[in-house]
Amino acid sequence: MDIDYSGSFVALITPFKDRKIDEKKFQELVEWQINQGTNGLVPCGTTGESPTLSHEEHERVIDLTLEVANGRVPVIAGTGSNSTEEAIRLTSHAEKAGANSALVVMPYYNKPTQAGMYSHFKAINDSTNIPIFIYNIPGRSVVDMSIETMVELAKLPNIIGVKDASNDPTRPTNLRIALDGLKFTQFSGEDPSQLGFMAAGGEGIISVTANVAPQLMSNFHSEWKNQKIEEARNIQERLMPLHNALFLETSPAPVKYAASLMDVCSSEVRLPLVEPLQETKIKLRDALEKLQLIGKRA
């Protein structure tokens, strides 16, 4: 079955309650996302606080997502690690659980060379049969996969695309040229720059903002697909104060606080993350009010 990897995919937050996963709130969030028009679900990414989830919790969150989605929208399971063996284990679980594909982050902290990056992803490719997206995020992993390495990986049978959080506006175009017609999906990983990314050849976004504004994010991509550029631009301009506010501090602390204002879940994050500063909270509330996602204060 061909999967439509385009539009607004949400990088799901993981709700917590008293330091444990709030499974009820999480599944309500997933159902709400689908009802609001979100095109796909991405559990256990950076936004889902995957670094502080145990292996058992990680697998449970993927299972909970698949249970609610029930085939209605694609699920790209976050399965990355800076340990190749651990990434293989998590990716194998996602495959067995029924995820449509896996999102594998660049090996962080280890600082592998381009040859090491290639070998890491090739080992996962060779050990599983699930489609794999590379998650290139230099700001978190320190290393940046070159276009040349990505093209070589794109030749492998299971490597089908990238979530690009390099924030390099020329990257989508340069990658398209280097791919020379090879099919490879490009997702943006940066909400504030999604308009330019789509214009440069992107197919969609894996979004933090969609956790709290799923319908607006979905509408942006619908307008873009229908070549209603001015309408898409207007939506992006309306969303920009929220995009900016959500990244004033380390994600997902701001988006979890925003979600708490909407009664989506608690604002609880796991250490070493902490709740946003008061000035950030004020800007988040203002942005949500302007979009009429919450009521105005009396």
pLDDT tens sequence across 44-91: 999 999 999 999 999 999 999 999 999 999 999 999 999 999 999 999
Q: Which residues pair with 136 in a beta bridge?
A: 164
- The active-site residue out of 5, 25, 118, 135 is 135
Q: Which residue of the set 163, 256, 281, 283 is catalytic?
A: 163
Q: Does domain 7-228 have CATH number 3.20.20.70?
A: yes
Look up 135 and say whether it is catalytic.
Answer: yes
Dist CA 92 CA 280 (whole Å)? 39
Please state, in angstroms and rounded to a whole number, the distance separating the CA atoms of residues 134 and 137.
Answer: 9
Strand partners, 103: 78, 133
CB atoms within 10 A of CB 264: 19
**Mean pLDDT, range 135-154, rounded to an integer:** 97
Residue 128 has pLDDT above 70, yes or no: yes
Share of the chain above pLDDT 70, in %: 99
**Packing angle of the helix pair 147-154, 171-179 (nearest 10 deg):** 40
**Residue 20 backbone class (left: φ over 0; alpha: ψ -120 to 50; beta: rest):** beta
Domain ranges of the chain: 7-228
Q: Say whether pTM exceeds 0.95.
A: yes
> What pLDDT, in 10s, does the model give residues 230-258?
999 999 999 999 999 999 999 999 999 99
Note whether 131 and 94 are within 8 A (CB): no
Position 281, amino acid: K
Q: How confident is the model at residue 296 (pLDDT cuts 50, 70, 90)?
A: confident
> Which residues make Cβ contacts (< 8 Å) with residue 85, sequence separation at least 6?
none
Mean pLDDT in residue range 153-174: 97
**In this structure, are residues 147 and 170 in contact, taking their beta carbons and an 8 Å threshold?**
no
Element (H, E) at 10: strand 7-11
3-state secondary structure at position 70: coil
CA pair distance 82, 98, nearest whole angstrom:
23
Residue 159 CA to residue 149 CA, distance in Å, equals 12
Mean pLDDT of 104-109: 96
* Residue 5 appears among annotated catalytic residues: no
- pLDDT value at position 1? 60
What single-letter amino acid sits at 130? I
- The confidence band for 176, taking pLDDT boundaries of 50, 70 and 90, is very high
pLDDT of residue 297: 65
